[in-house]
């Protein structure tokens, strides 16, 4: 059992500067729930630490229409890269699954993976929740751009994971440059209220941005720092008429009333003043229902907490076989299973060894094996998610 490095009696910090676990601590199972340490203590005392076991990760829910995007497998793969004796099989990352479908299986000596259960579920539950939140926003927005704006609402050490999961799930871009660089995509951002406040006006902020920032960056100007939105939109458009791309409304919820009505007013004034080409971009507490309501007038969305803080996918990791014998807890569908993709793109879960219908494709593959949908690049995984969403099989 690992020992901590914090001085609990004095309350003084003696460990890392930030409240996060290191790569070494995660790979060393130092983030495990304590009952796994005690479980292994008991099994070692009985000489049973190497008992063969087969476990699977599934989502159990009574909602038959539930669906989720599987994400976080990149980190699970890294966790098991140096662990010998454990066969890890998983669906391709970015697969959209339903309840009771095994998304990952672990086979080997129980002691080799027991203390990693906490990390495995942590990697999968949060990343899949973010990716699913992004996919829901993507469905709601149709072909309108959706940008991940939510990293600032979460701990900065997991920013790259948040943005990767958001992009994989269907966002068109992300706001944090570090995460974007890692994925090989362009980050997306305009200007904050802070720039307008320091420079003193929306007009000056728009001109300074246009004068300074590379011309490849779209001129999307935040308009609600000082001005009523319809006047702010005109101020921005007139300040940089030849280069303005969009105006962004980030109006606080306590001041916006019916956000759609406010946007319609902005759209009317822009069109009337000859700025029909200027798009309207919404941000600030935007979720799926807001997107559906705003679609008739809004051209693009910046989504924060509805993606970054989306509900986790509440997977569980359960043993279903011990030493070759079917053994599972109550409420769990027992035995080893195979998961197949059918020709109509639906899935079928069958007991292991069952013969699937003609044309079925096995989805559970060795985790290190690239998927046929396009390898491991996040952009390829995102395209796979988008193609699945386009089938119409997944509702809001």
- d(C-alpha 378, C-alpha 164), whole Å: 7
Q: What is the pLDDT of residue 2?
A: 64
- The lowest-confidence range among 51-65, 115-129, 175-189, 357-371 is 357-371
Predicted pLDDT of residue 252: 76
Q: What is the pLDDT of residue 8?
A: 53
**Coil, helix or strand at residue 135:** helix
pLDDT above 90 for 341: yes
Backbone φ and ψ of 242, nearest 5°? -85, -15
Distance CA 215, CA 212 (A): 9
Secondary structure E strands in 309-359: 315-322, 325-326, 337-341, 347-351
Nearest 5 degrees, angle CA 250-CA 256-CA 258?
A: 120
pLDDT tens for each residue of 310-319: 999 999 999 9
Q: What is the DSSP string of 182-203?
A: HHTS-------HHHHHHHSSHH
Task: Tell me the pLDDT tens digit for each residue of 102-120.
Answer: 999 999 999 999 999 999 9
- Would you say residue 370 has pLDDT above 80? no
pLDDT at 14: 73
Tell the CATH superfamily of the 132-308 domain: Aldolase class I (3.20.20.70)
Q: What are the residues whose beta carbons fall under 8 Å from the beta carbon of 367, sequence distance 6 or more?
A: 73, 76, 77, 80, 88, 89, 90, 104
The predicted pLDDT at position 374 comes to 45
Do 293 and 260 form a contact (C-beta atoms < 8 A)? yes
Percent of the chain with pLDDT over 90: 86
Contact indicator for 150, 126 with CB cutoff of 8 Å: no
Average pLDDT over residues 324-336: 90
Is the CB of residue 66 less than 8 Å from the CB of residue 59?
yes
Residue 62's pLDDT is: 85
The span from the CA of 237 to the CA of 1, in Å, is: 63
Sheet strands side by side (includes 173-174) = 173-174, 146-148, 300-303, 279-283, 244-249, 219-222
Does residue 372 surpass a pLDDT of 60? no
- Strand 52-59 and strand 315-322: the pairing is antiparallel
Per CATH, is 23-129+311-371 categorized as 3.30.70.270?
A: no
Instruction: Supply the pTM of this predicted model.
Output: 0.93
Query: Is residue 78 pLDDT above 80, yes or no?
Result: yes
Q: Which residue shows structure tokens 């999968």?
A: 124
pLDDT tens per residue, range 121-159: 999 999 999 999 999 999 999 999 999 999 889 999 999
Q: Under a CB-based contact definition with an 8 Å cutoff, are residues 236 and 273 in contact?
A: no
User: Identical fold at 23-129+311-371 and 132-308?
Assistant: no
3-state secondary structure of 322: strand
The domain segmentation of the chain, as residue ranges, is 23-129+311-371, 132-308
**259-275: average pLDDT:** 96
pLDDT of residue 89: 97
Q: What is the average pLDDT across 340-358? A: 94
pLDDT of res. 101: 97
pLDDT band at 373 (very low <50, low <70, confident <90, very high): very low
Residue 4 above 70 pLDDT? no
Average pLDDT, integer, range 327-333 = 88
Using alpha carbons only, what angle is made at residue 178 by residues 160 and 205, rounded to the nearest 5 degrees? 120
Closest among 327, 350, 291 to 139, alpha carbons compared: 291
Longest dimension (CA), the chain: 81
Residues 165-224: pLDDT tens digits?
A: 999 999 999 999 999 999 999 999 889 999 999 999 999 999 999 999 999 999 999 999
Average pLDDT of the chain? 93
Which region among 13-22, 124-133, 160-169, 334-343 has the lowest average model confidence (pLDDT)?
A: 13-22
**What does the pLDDT read at residue 332?**
85
Nearest alpha-carbon partner for 128 in 82, 91, 177: 91
């Amino acid at each position: 059992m690992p020992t901590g490095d914090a001085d609990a009696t004095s309350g003084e910090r003696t460990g890392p500067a930030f409240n996060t676990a290191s790569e070494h601590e995660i790979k060393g199972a130092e983030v495990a729930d304590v009952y796994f340490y005690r479980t292994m203590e008991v099994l070692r005392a009985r000489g049973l630490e190497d008992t063969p076991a087969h476990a699977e990760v599934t989502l159990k829910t009574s909602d038959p229409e539930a669906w989720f995007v599987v994400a976080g497998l990149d980190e699970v793969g890294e966790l098991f890269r140096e662990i010998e004796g454990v066969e890890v099989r998983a669906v391709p990352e970015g697969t959209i699954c339903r309840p009771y479908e095994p998304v990952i299986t672990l086979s080997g000596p129980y002691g080799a993976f027991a203390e990693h259960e906490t990390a495995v579920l942590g990697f999968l539950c949060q990343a899949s929740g973010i990716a699913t939140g992004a996919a829901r926003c993507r469905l709601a927005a149709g072909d309108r751009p959706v940008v991940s704006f939510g990293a600032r609402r979460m701990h900065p050490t997991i920013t790259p994971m948040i943005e990767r999961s958001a992009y994989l799930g269907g966002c068109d871009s992300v706001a944090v440059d570090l995460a974007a660089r890692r994925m090989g995509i362009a980050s997306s951002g305009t200007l904050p209220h802070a720039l307008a406040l320091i420079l003193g006006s929306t007009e000056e902020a728009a001109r300074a941005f246009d004068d300074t920032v590379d011309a490849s960056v779209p001129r999307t100007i935040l308009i609600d720092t000082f001005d009523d939105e319809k006047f702010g939109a005109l101020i921005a458009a007139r300040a940089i008429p030849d280069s303005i791309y969009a105006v962004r409304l980030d109006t606080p919820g306590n001041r916006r009333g019916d956000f759609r009505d406010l946007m319609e007013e902005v759209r009317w004034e822009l069109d009337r003043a000859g700025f029909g080409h200027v798009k309207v971009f919404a941000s600030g507490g935007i979720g799926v229902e807001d997107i559906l309501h705003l679609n008739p007038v809004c051209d693009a969305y910046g989504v924060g907490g509805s993606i970054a803080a989306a509900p986790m996918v509440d997977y569980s990791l359960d043993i279903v076989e011990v030493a070759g014998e079917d053994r599972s807890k109550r409420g769990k569908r027992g035995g080893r299973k195979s998961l197949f993709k059918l020709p109509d793109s639906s899935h079928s879960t069958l007991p292991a060894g069952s013969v699937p219908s003609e044309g079925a494709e096995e989805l559970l593959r060795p985790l290190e094996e690239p998927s046929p949908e396009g390898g491991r690049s996040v952009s390829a995984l995102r395209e796979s998610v988008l193609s699945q969403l386009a089938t119409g099989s997944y509702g809001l």
